[in-house]
Amino acid sequence: MLEVQKLFKGKFFHTPTHVVQAPGRVELLGNHTDYNDGVVLSFAVDKYVQIASSPRIDGRVELISSAFPESEKFFISELNKNPAAPWANYVKGVLQRLRKHNVHFSGFNAAVYGSLPMGAGLGSSAALEVATALTVREMHPHSLTDTGSTVPPKRDRRGRLRPLKPAERLATARLCQAAENHFVGVKSGLLDQLSSLSGKKFHAMLIDCQRFSVDPVPMIGEICLVLCDSGVKHALVGGGYNEIREQCEAAAKALGQKTLRLVDSKMLAANKAKLTPRQYACAYHVTREIQRVFYGEQALQADEFALFGEYMYQSHESSRDHLQNSTPELDLLVELAREHPATLGARMTGGGFGGATINLVKRGAVEVFMEYMALHYEKRTGHKMKPMLCQVVDGAK
Ligand code: GLA
């Protein structure tokens, strides 16, 4: 029995009828590009949010979580924030959006179990949102579009629903993003939700947020991906994330463009005087970072991992200097990694202001690298840090 099923049974005294899981995502290259209609490379990682559930008939939802002591109970007709259980906002936000999309559902009991560290910039919020959407789909099958829900998908002989089609993945990702933007109040882009839904084993994803396309990019070779969590909590809610987004949007507006995707380095340089220094710095980062992602994709396609690693370092430096969303701990992790001969590249991953770095490391020396990072990070900061080796996995199901 899975841990999530045990958790459910311990609370509700029966076996759950459904179990779903959504992986976290690692942003490999492309920092703060997604909501600028830009491109980003990411992969789904073998750390999950799982939800075990069973329907109820009284229109109530009762939630427990392995990560938070506070449980939460509410009617599906009363989806309000509860400051005593903020983690449940991600679930409520998705339920609210599903109702707006005319998806009919009743109450349920659910246990949430996470092997995905929270606040590490690995998309744990999105994974919870996606797992919530899939839980409702399991209990009340529907096919989601951007404007509503259509004919329910059929179950196979073993009672399983067919996997989401690409258009449904996009509609589900957008719905979850809307939940985060409007209910939780973080103006995040589509990266986390779409990566959690679209992951492909052994592949990175090139996500184009202008065309809404997801293209797999093989990532197979003598390389390993290692996460180093700085241990400094990254909280997007109320953090500097929204500020960066506002600067980017204001910059695009001042340049007469809908988004920064439509701005290139030349146009930016020629119109520098129209922007505040902060707007210019953010736009400078975004326009170059979008280019780096395209070059990075070519490097991965050609198995040029050392070149890809260079782009990772450049990306980190640009985020640090121009977006100013790094921390001394993240900078130290990148600096330590750079000193190790097995490292090909390192950068912060996700929104910033804490969280983790992602490191591209030569396969043969990955254990030595992990020991080295743990040892030196503790020496320099006094904090223990356990590097995590990543497997690149399939998306939510
Ligand atoms: C967070 C957001 C994403 C993206 C990244 C930064 O993870 O949720 O939408 O903007 O930060 O690239």
- Domain parsing of the chain, residue ranges: 2-215, 219-390
Atom of ligand 1 nearest to the CA of 186: 8
Atom of ligand 1 nearest to the CA of 189: 9
Structure-token match 């070149």, residue found: 307
- Residue 233's pLDDT is 75
Task: Report residue 63: phi and psi, to 5°.
Answer: -125, 140
Q: 318: which 2 tokens?
A: 């640009």
The alpha carbon of 298 and the centre of ligand 1 are apart by a number of angstroms equal to: 23
The alpha carbon of 34 and the centre of ligand 1 are apart by a number of angstroms equal to: 7
Q: Whose CA is nearest to atom 9 of ligand 1?
A: 189
Q: Which residues contact 252 (CB under 8 A, 6 or more apart)?
A: 36, 258, 259, 260, 262, 263, 283
77-114 pLDDT, tens digit each: 999 999 999 999 999 999 999 999 999 999 999 999 99
| 3-state SS, one letter per residue, for the chain | CCHHHHHHHHHHCCCCCEEEEEEEEEEEECCCCHHHCCEEEEEEEEEEEEEEEEECCCCEEEEEECCCCCCEEEECCCCCCCCCCHHHHHHHHHHHHHHHCCCCCCCEEEEEEECCCCCCCCCHHHHHHHHHHHHHHHHCCCEECCCCEECCCCECCCCCECCCCHHHHHHHHHHHHHHHHHHHCCCCCCHHHHHHHHCECCEEEEEECCCCEEEEEECCCCEEEEEEECCCCCCCCCCCHHHHHHHHHHHHHHCCCCCHHHCCHHHHHHCHHHCCHHHHHHHHHHHHHHHHHHHHHHHHHCCCHHHHHHHHHHHHHHHHHHHCCCCHHHHHHHHHHHHCCCEEEEEECCCCCCCEEEEEEEHHHHHHHHHHHHHHHHHHHCCCCCCEEECECCCCC
Q: Which of 28, 43, 192 to mutate to test the pocket of ligand 1 (most atoms within 8 A of CB)?
A: 192
- The whole-angstrom separation of Cα 214 and Cα 394 is 13
The alpha carbon of 351 and the centre of ligand 1 are apart by a number of angstroms equal to: 5
The alpha carbon of 385 and the centre of ligand 1 are apart by a number of angstroms equal to: 23
The alpha carbon of 167 and the centre of ligand 1 are apart by a number of angstroms equal to: 21
Q: Which of 33, 36, 90, 188 to mutate to test the pocket of ligand 1 (most atoms within 8 A of CB)?
A: 188
Q: Is the dihedral of CA 271, 277, 279, 281 positive or negative?
A: positive
Q: 216: which 2 tokens?
A: 């797999």
- Residue 149's pLDDT is 85
What is the model's pTM? 0.95
pLDDT at residue 16 greater than cutoff 80: yes
pLDDT at residue 236 greater than cutoff 70: no
Q: Which of 25, 28, 32 to mutate to test the pocket of ligand 1 (most atoms within 8 A of CB)?
A: 32
Q: Do domains 2-215 and 219-390 have the same CATH topology?
A: no
Q: Which of 36, 37, 41, 191 to mutate to test the pocket of ligand 1 (most atoms within 8 A of CB)?
A: 191
Q: Provide mean pLDDT across the span 237-243.
A: 77
- The whole-angstrom separation of Cα 267 and Cα 290 is 15
Q: Provide mean pLDDT across the span 264-281.
A: 97
| Fold observed for domain 219-390 | Alpha-Beta Plaits (3.30.70)
The alpha carbon of 188 and the centre of ligand 1 are apart by a number of angstroms equal to: 6
Q: Whose CA is nearest to atom 11 of ligand 1?
A: 351
- Which band of pLDDT confidence, cut at 50, 70 and 90, is reported for residue 150? confident
Atom of ligand 1 nearest to the CA of 125: 8
CATH number of 2-215: 3.30.230.10
The alpha carbon of 118 and the centre of ligand 1 are apart by a number of angstroms equal to: 14
Q: 81: which 2 tokens?
A: 């924030």
Q: Provide mean pLDDT across the span 122-141.
A: 96
Mark whether 229 is an active-site residue.
Answer: no
Atom of ligand 1 nearest to the CA of 35: 10
Q: Whose CA is nearest to atom 2 of ligand 1?
A: 188
pLDDT at residue 293 greater than cutoff 70: yes
Atom of ligand 1 nearest to the CA of 123: 7
% of the chain exceeding 90 in pLDDT = 90
Q: 40: which 2 tokens?
A: 């980003």
**Closest by alpha carbon to 93, among 61, 54, 141?**
61
- Residue 148's pLDDT is 85
- Which band of pLDDT confidence, cut at 50, 70 and 90, is reported for residue 119? confident
Task: Report residue 285: phi and psi, to 5°.
Answer: -60, -50
Q: Which residues form the pocket of ligand 1, taking CB atoms under 6 Å from any ligand atom?
A: 27, 31-32, 34-35, 188-189, 191-192, 350-351
Q: Whose CA is nearest to atom 10 of ligand 1?
A: 32
Longest dimension (CA), the chain: 66
The alpha carbon of 56 and the centre of ligand 1 are apart by a number of angstroms equal to: 35
Atom of ligand 1 nearest to the CA of 31: 12
The residue from 34, 37, 192, 208 that is catalytic is 192
Could you give the dihedral angle defined by the CA atoms of residues 144, 150, 156 and 162, in that order, rounded to the nearest 10 degrees?
Answer: -20
